[in-house]
């Protein structure tokens, strides 16, 4: 019988959530939903020195904004609570002692100074491996090299110690990765990693394996940069006797810089002017990276203070998810615009690429354009209304709907309506010089004055009425309407191009059009 699918996203609360972490969460979510499984979020906060206040809530809000739903988490609860590793300390300690008793791990009493001396000696001798492992452990102070009586005496005296995994000196570690294929690593290249630190807290490696086992995780889907940790984790499952229920691994391709080489970092976003976070970060300084950084952290330095986010830049959540999904995964068709249900239906781990995915912010903008176009005018108005309020602009709801409809084919972000369509909200103060030089003549100004007078006779100005009136006045003056429309547009908006002119006239309304025609005639003299 197939094992129930249970996946987890396990960030550390050390600062803002990098967009690579969001993609990891998304792939876990898509796989869980496609397989009818469970999506878990676990907070990996065993290193309390790196904890940043507000980071956990930031993670919760970011995933909620993106639309990535969680089945079990610190905020939703679940059958495997608690979901914060800092609250599971006793479990890790008991299992670490169990490994020592079974001869799969050992106590190490080495001081930091002694560890550094060992490392320097190995470097000086140009040793192939400079870690604490099968080549060095019997020369160090641990329960393998010291007499049992001395070990007991040190423990009884309360001497600080760590617990290290006893890695086999020979043999291979072999496992299958659902993205990378078969992975083979020589055991003697793996260090005897610390599992339990001298302060009694577990390292990432111990806590990660224990929690994945106890929470019945079936698949570990995480970034490629954590592939080197996988052989160690396989050894830990073996040491605990949990090999039969070890989760399957799937290591995702890196998100690369726009140039295509090297992992995408916050500095790249700063350099090229785009965000790498889902939401703006307004917390304190993110914690520095350490060897205990978890698989869903972004191992690049982050800035102090507020930083921009995709939400604040104006991206729609659905557009961002569609963009991220295709950074490393290919659906079963060449279709690019995929709703979340469509992504879920087509998601398959076997279609994840091995090569890194170049982060193309122009493509992200393209997705946002397409999703804005798919909004109804009413939906776009709902997005636009808060933007107008933030700028102290207020219009009747019907006009907001009309403006959105006129502008949505021409914008990348909802906020562009206010900047690119500024003429909807205030009359122009400048008029396009080229159009004025070419079109501003007695025929045009006479037409504008006649149109201004004729507007007073119109009871209601909609698009059809505007078209009829503008053409009628031109014909009455013996002029071709087509030769006048760009001049009329400049008089009303200041710009030579834009959305449908009759739609603009209908939105502005009779009184505003009359006023703007008068302003243009007064401000722009005949050449």
Cis peptide before 82 (omega within 30 of 0): yes
Q: Which of 379, 371, 370 is nearest to 401 (CA)?
A: 379
CA–CA gap between residue 328 and residue 449 (Å, rounded)? 60
The answer to whether 266 is a known catalytic residue is yes
Q: Which residues pair with 279 in a beta bridge?
A: none
Which secondary structure element, helix H or strand E, spans residue 195, and what is its range? strand 194-196
Contacts of 22 (CB under 8 A, 6+ apart): 62, 63, 66, 68, 278, 320, 324
- Sign of the Cα torsion 86, 87, 89, 92 reads negative
Give backbone dihedrals phi and psi of 60, rounded to 5 degrees, phi first. Answer: -60, -50
Decide: 249 and 174 in contact? Cβ < 8 Å.
no
Q: Residue 6: helix, strand or coil by DSSP? A: strand
CA–CA gap between residue 291 and residue 268 (Å, rounded)? 23
CA–CA gap between residue 506 and residue 406 (Å, rounded)? 11
The alpha helices in 295-441, defined as continuous H runs, are 310-313, 317-325, 340-346, 361-374, 377-390, 397-407, 416-420, 433-439
CA–CA gap between residue 319 and residue 325 (Å, rounded)? 10
Give backbone dihedrals phi and psi of 354, rounded to 5 degrees, phi first. Answer: -85, -35
The CB density around residue 122, as the number of other CB atoms within 10 Å, is 17
**How far does CA 349 lie from the centroid of its chain?**
20
| Rg of the chain (C-alpha set) | 32
Please pick, among 257, 263, 266, 365, the residue that the annotation labels catalytic.
266
Structure tokens at 156: 């009884």
What Å distances lie between residue 187 and 118, 164, 232, 238, CA to CA? 21, 15, 9, 13
The CB density around residue 274, as the number of other CB atoms within 10 Å, is 18
Q: Which of 62, 77, 79, 74 is nearest to 25 (CA)?
A: 62
DSSP state for residue 138 in the 8-state scheme: G
How do the residues of the chain divide into helix, strand and coil, expressed in percent and rounded to 5?
50, 10, 40
CA–CA gap between residue 348 and residue 151 (Å, rounded)? 51
DSSP state for residue 329 in the 8-state scheme: B
CA–CA gap between residue 161 and residue 198 (Å, rounded)? 5
CA–CA gap between residue 516 and residue 513 (Å, rounded)? 5
Decide: 298 and 223 in contact? Cβ < 8 Å.
no
Catalytic residues: 266
């Amino acid at each position: 019988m197939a094992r129930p699918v249970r996946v987890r996203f396990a960030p550390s609360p050390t600062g803002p959530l990098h967009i690579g972490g969001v993609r990891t969460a998304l792939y876990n979510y898509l796989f869980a939903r496609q397989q009818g499984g469970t999506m878990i979020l676990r907070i990996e906060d065993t290193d309390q020195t790196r904890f940043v206040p507000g980071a956990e809530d930031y993670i919760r809000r970011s995933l909620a904004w993106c639309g990535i739903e969680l089945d079990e988490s610190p905020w939703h609860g679940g059958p495997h609570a608690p979901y914060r590793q800092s609250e599971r300390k006793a479990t890790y300690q008991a299992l670490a002692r169990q490994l020592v008793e079974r001869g799969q791990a050992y106590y190490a009493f080495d001081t930091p100074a002694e560890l550094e001396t060992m490392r320097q000696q190995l470097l000086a001798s140009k040793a192939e491996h400079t870690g604490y492992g099968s080549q060095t452990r019997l020369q160090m102070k641990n329960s393998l090299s010291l007499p049992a009586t001395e070990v007991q005496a040190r423990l009884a005296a309360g001497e600080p110690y760590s617990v290290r995994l006893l890695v086999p000196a020979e043999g291979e570690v072999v496992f299958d990765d659902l993205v990378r294929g078969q992975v083979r690593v020589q055991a003697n290249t793996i260090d005897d990693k610390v599992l339990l630190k001298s302060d009694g807290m577990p390292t990432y490696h111990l806590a990660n394996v224990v929690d994945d086992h106890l929470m019945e995780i079936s698949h570990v889907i995480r970034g490629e940069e954590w592939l080197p940790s996988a052989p160690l984790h396989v050894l830990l499952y073996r040491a605990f006797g949990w090999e039969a229920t070890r989760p399957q691994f799937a290591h995702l391709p890196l998100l690369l810089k726009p140039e295509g080489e090297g992992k995408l970092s916050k500095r790249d976003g700063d350099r090229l002017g785009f965000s790498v976070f889902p939401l703006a970060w307004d917390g304190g300084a993110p914690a520095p990276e350490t060897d205990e950084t978890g698989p869903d952290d972004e191992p690049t330095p982050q800035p102090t203070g507020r930083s921009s986010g995709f939400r604040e830049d104006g991206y729609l959540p659905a557009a961002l998810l569609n963009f991220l999904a295709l950074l490393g995964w290919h659906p079963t068709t060449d279709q690019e615009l995929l709703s979340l249900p469509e992504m879920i239906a087509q998601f398959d781990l076997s279609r994840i690429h091995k090569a890194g995915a170049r982060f193309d912010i122009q493509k992200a903008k393209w997705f946002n354009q397409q999703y804005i176009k798919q909004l109804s005018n009413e939906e776009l108005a709902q997005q636009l209304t808060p933007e107008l309020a933030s700028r102290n602009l207020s219009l009747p709801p019907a006009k907001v709907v009309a403006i959105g409809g006129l502008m949505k084919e021409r914008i990348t972000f909802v906020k562009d309506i206010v900047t690119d369509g500024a003429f909807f909200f205030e009359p122009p103060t400048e008029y396009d010089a080229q159009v004025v030089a070419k079109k501003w003549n007695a025929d045009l100004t006479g037409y504008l004055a006649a149109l201004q007078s004729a507007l007073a006779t119109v009871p209601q100005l909609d698009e059809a009425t505007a078209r009829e009136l503008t053409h009628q006045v031109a014909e009455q003056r013996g002029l071709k309407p087509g030769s006048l429309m760009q001049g009329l547009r400049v008089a009303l908006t200041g710009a030579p191009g834009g959305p449908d002119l009759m739609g603009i006239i209908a939105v502005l309304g009779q009184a505003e059009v009359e006023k703007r025609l008068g302003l243009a005639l007064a401000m722009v003299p005949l050449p």
